[in-house]
Amino acid sequence: MAEEIAAPRQILPPPAERYTWLGWIQKNLFSTWYNSLLTFITLGLAYALLKPFLTWLLEQANWEVVEVNFRLLMVGQYPPDEIWRIWLLLYLLAAVVGLSWGVWVRGRLALALGLLLAPLLLALLPIATPSARLNLVAMDLVAVAASRLGRLGGPSLRRFAAWSWVIYLVLVILVVRGFALTPEVMPRVPTNLWGGLLLTCLLTVVGIVFSFPLGILLALGRRSSLPAIRAVSVVYIEVIRGVPLVTILFMAAVMVPFFLPSGITIDRVLRAMVGITLFSAAYLAENVRGGLQAVPHGQFEAASALGLSGFKTMTRIILPQALRIVIPVLMGQFIALFKDTTLVVTIGLLELLGIARAVLAQPQYVSYQREVYLFVAAIFWVISYLMSYISQRLESVLGVGER
Amino acid sequence: MEETLEPNNLTPQSSSRDDQPIIVCRDVHKWYGNFQALQGVSMEVNKGEVIVIFGPSGSGKSTFIRTLNRLEEHQRGQIIVDGIELTHDVRNIEQVRMETGMVFQQFNLFPHLTVLQNITLAPLHVRKWPKDKAEEVATQLLVRVGIPEQADKYPGQLSGGQQQRVAIARALAMQPKIMLFDEPTSALDPEMIKEVLDVMIELAHTGMTMLVVTHEMGFARGVANRMFFFDQGQIVESGTPQQIFSNPQEDRTRLFLSQILTH
């Protein structure tokens, strides 16, 4: 057999290319006279383009507008007395992330330190209040403690860690909204007070969590052998994909109340969430269908030949492979969904960008557009990049054993 | 060679239906659109027999073996496997699939599961065995096919021959009464064919009922009880290996054998 015949021969490593940084510069930037010329021209252009921006950033930018309106940008008009709930959710998030890290990821010390560093950096920002600093540092401690716990528990905690995410997502809605146990304890916070980054995140998370299973069902429906189910799926997908998200949001905001019996109203934020979910599900369905088609037919045959039922074949064999194939596409779509939440401004909800514009509408802040928009853009970029990074990690972790 | 035939035919394992054929096909027809892939195939297979099916490509041999566990649906005729007739009744199909293992040309292992998980999947979810029993059986099977050390690897990390042996172990884990092999060595590099054939020969010696679509004539000569030559969706000729190799009756059989044996 092949693996036994292979003789243990000395295997030479490939010749490594090692340079000092000076050597690297010479090889890549100044290898020939025209490369040197190109290098200088590029440097000159970069300087000319970046100089105005850098001088503005370092010398003229005035971040007071962000400082003053920071709470507004983060949570909108959420009552200051109830902000502790948001902190509570952040603490819980730190605990759940820490636990999951300890159970599933382990090791990867550099990455762990990077994650822990993020709250500390936030705490160092000049706009952070002393109590916020304390909270951020304490969150890190909670995360570390939770990851130790996860590590001690190991695989036995896997089920618990998975469920903790589900419970967490339910808690997010419950705690943000409040359940009015008594008028004093956890009073309801009406959704018209939700805003800023909080609303952006809620719309995104709800959109992802609900459109994902719906999209999978639609993708399976479109491939179903039952004509009725297939027709419903095709019509749904094609209709929704043919309509802009703004239209769907308008429909949800303006049209839906007409169809409801008088006296019954559906919350505005809830309607936006439903609109985003329905919209995203149609696109997700097509992406998942692409993944399903990429799974070789032999996989179905092998599963059938073993006697697996259609349901087990789908959940155990086909979907795991199909979803892994489409992770990059799905994550791309989730990032798009995250950014598309800014469109809810058209139906009067003030998410992060909406709040930013509301702030800038005040006369005293009119001249601070650059600071505010840069700040908002930075937040969008950081979260989008985080999602993209998670996607890459997922790909490599789940890609184990792929040819 | 003769001594390999005897345990199969003369000392079959105890079962009430031993005297009856375990597979009965009567006048099986199958069309793909207007193309007729099977034109009235009839065959009876006894328990413990090793059947080799061969023939030119497109002759319907793969289609035929795949109708036996309903991966392909036949449109006319009758197929009875282990006393169960294959019809549109899903329960019958599931029953037959539990009793027949299948090995494919392209292995068709599940790439996202480890070798051990590939083997234990069906016993856990179809036979509903407890996990430790399924894993114990899987480990024994991996020893039997000669790769116990690969249990925790993924299929993509194995050679073709190893993958095919895992596929055989996966099919055997359901403890089937019949094993179907659809060109099990055609996708393998020459040096790996032997390791797969060795496993199949060992399996034949244990008295397993086997239907093998293959052009490995050495295997056929060594362990087959009967051989069937397919051409254009029909059985052209059948007989013991000795009859087929030394005294084929039909011109088409003779021509085909001369083409594959002397190249």
User: Is there a contact between A306 and B155 if contact means CB atoms under 8 Å apart?
Assistant: no
Instruction: Name the domain count of chain A.
Output: 2
Residues A104 and A174 in one domain: yes
Which of A297, A306, A398 to mutate to probe the B interface, most B CBs <10 Å?
Answer: A306
Minimum CA–CA partner of B198 in chain A? A1
Q: Are residues A145 and A203 in the same domain?
A: no
Contact B121 A306 (CB under 8 A): yes
Task: Identify the helix (H) or strand (E) that includes residue B5.
Answer: helix B2-9
Of A40 and A14, the structure prediction assigns the larger pLDDT to: A40
A257 and A146 inside one domain = no
A207 and A315 co-located in one domain: yes
Among A189, A213, A228, the domain-final residue is A189
Q: Is residue A19 assigned to a domain? A: no
Query: How large is the average pLDDT for residues B113-129?
Result: 96
The pLDDT of B169-183, averaged and rounded, is 96
Neighbours of B260 (CB within 10 A): 11
Q: Are B126 and A308 in contact (CB < 8 Å)?
A: yes
In a domain, A137, yes or no: yes
Whole domain around residue A286: which residue ranges? 192-397
| pLDDT for residue B72 is more than 80 | yes
The reported pLDDT for the residue numbered B4 is 41
Report the distance separating Cα B68 and Cα B80, nearest Å. Answer: 8
Instruction: Kindly state whether residue A42 falls inside one of the protein's structural domains.
Output: no
Q: Is residue A302 part of a domain?
A: yes
CB B164 within 8 A of CB B188: yes
**What are the pLDDT digits (tens) for B196-222?**
999 999 999 999 999 999 999 999 999
Q: What percentage of residues in chain B have a pLDDT greater than 70?
A: 92
Residues A112 and A185 placed together within one structural domain of the fold: yes
Alpha-carbon distance values, A398 to A66, A99, A166, A316, A325 (Å): 40, 19, 21, 15, 10
Contacts of A317 in chain B (CB under 8 A): 110
**Domain C-terminal end among A156, A189, A222:** A189
pLDDT per position as a tens digit, B30-53: 999 999 999 999 999 999 999 999
Q: How much is the average pLDDT of A49-57?
A: 90
* pLDDT on residue A155: 80
Please, which pLDDT band fits residue A14 given cuts at 50, 70 and 90? Answer: confident
Q: What is the pLDDT of residue B2?
A: 40
- Model confidence at A128: pLDDT above 90: no
With 50 as the cut, is the pLDDT of residue B15 above it? no
pLDDT tops 60 at residue A172: yes
Residues B95-108 have pLDDT tens digits of: 999 999 999 999 99
Beta carbons of B28 and B66 less than 8 angstroms apart: no
Q: Say how far apart CA B54 and CA B37 lie, in whole Å.
A: 15
Q: What does residue B52 show for φ and ψ, rounded to 5 degrees?
A: -110, 130
Looking at A322-331, B13-22, B101-110, B222-231, which range is the least confident one? B13-22
Is B198 in contact with B223 (CB distance < 8 Å)?
Answer: no
Average confidence (pLDDT) over A227-250: 95
pLDDT score for A16: 66
In a domain, A315, yes or no: yes
Across the interface, whether the CB atoms of B171 and A305 are under 8 A apart is answered: yes
As a whole number, mean pLDDT of residues A159-182 equals 89
**pLDDT at residue B187, rounded to an integer:** 93
B92 close contact with A: CB closer than 8 A = no
Are A139 and A287 members of one domain? no
Alpha-carbon torsion (A188, A189, A191, A197), positive or negative: negative
Render pLDDT for A72-90 as a digit per residue (tens, 0 to 9): 999 999 998 889 999 999 9
Q: What pLDDT, in 10s, does the model give residues A324-356?
A: 999 999 999 999 999 999 999 988 899 999 999
Query: Is A302–B174 a contact, with Cβ atoms under 8 angstroms apart?
Result: no
Same domain, A219 and A364: yes
pLDDT of the residue at A298: 95
Residue A312 belongs to a domain: yes
**Structure confidence at residue B148 as a pLDDT band (50, 70, 90):** very high
| Per-residue pLDDT, A402 | 57
Given a cut of 70, whether residue A17 has pLDDT beyond it is no
Length of chain A: 403
CB A372 within 8 A of CB A359: yes
What ipTM score was computed for the predicted complex, to two decimals?
A: 0.89
Domain end among A167, A189, A211: A189
Instruction: State whether A224 and A362 are in the same domain.
Output: yes
Whether A231 and A342 map to the same domain: the answer is yes
Q: Is the pLDDT of residue B237 over 70?
A: yes
Statement: residue A304 has pLDDT above 80: yes
**Are A306 and B100 inside 8 Å of each other by CB?**
no
| Averaged pLDDT score across all residues of chain A | 88
Does B86 score more than 70 pLDDT?
yes
Give the tens place of pLDDT for each residue, A363-386. 999 889 999 999 999 999 999 998
**CB-hemisphere CA count at 13 Å for A41?**
6
Chain B residues in contact with A299 (beta carbon < 8 A)? 108, 110
Q: What CATH number is attached to the domain comprising A389? A: 1.10.3720.10
A163 occurs within a structural domain:
yes
Please give the share of chain B, as a percent, with pLDDT higher than 90.
87
Q: How confident is the model at residue A19 (pLDDT cuts 50, 70, 90)?
A: low
Asked if A204 and A270 sit in the same domain, the reply is yes
Residue B82 has a pLDDT of 93
A334 and A237 belong to one structural domain: yes
- pLDDT reading at A396 higher than 90: no
Cα dihedral across residues A228, A229, A232, A233: positive or negative: negative
Residues A224 and A372 in one domain: yes
In a domain, A71, yes or no: no
CA-to-CA distance for B242 and A67, rounded, in angstroms? 93
Per-residue confidence band for A51, with pLDDT thresholds at 50, 70 and 90: very high
Selecting from B94, B154, B171 the residue whose C-beta is nearest the C-beta of A400 gives B154
A30-34, A205-209, A333-337: least confidently modelled range: A30-34
